[in-house]
Amino acid sequence: MKRQKRDRLGRAQSQGYKAGLNGRSAEECPYQQMDVRSYWMGGWREARDDKNSGLYK
């Protein structure tokens, strides 16, 4: 059961990262549950930081 939960959270973070790279707003997060939402937002923030530091154009 723990593996499924990690996979779900990892998937949320990955989707958030992709959204951040594509310039989507943080308001567009599709998740309502706080734990999953926080992983999505973490991925989104990481992508925005990477993009602003010049890692991606």
Q: Phi and psi dihedrals of 29, rounded to 5?
A: -60, 125
* pLDDT above 70 coverage of the chain, percent: 88
What is the H or E stretch that residue 25 is in? Answer: none
Which domains, and CATH codes, for the chain? 7-23+31-53 (1.10.10.620)
By CB atoms closer than 10 A (0-12, 13-18, 19+), residue 16 is buried
Residue 30 has a pLDDT of: 96
pLDDT tens figures, 7-31: 999 999 999 999 999 999 999 999 9
Using DSSP's 3-state secondary structure scheme, residue 7 falls into helix
Give the integer Cα–Cα distance in Å for 11 and 1.
16
Instruction: Tell me the whole-structure pTM to 2 decimals.
Output: 0.85
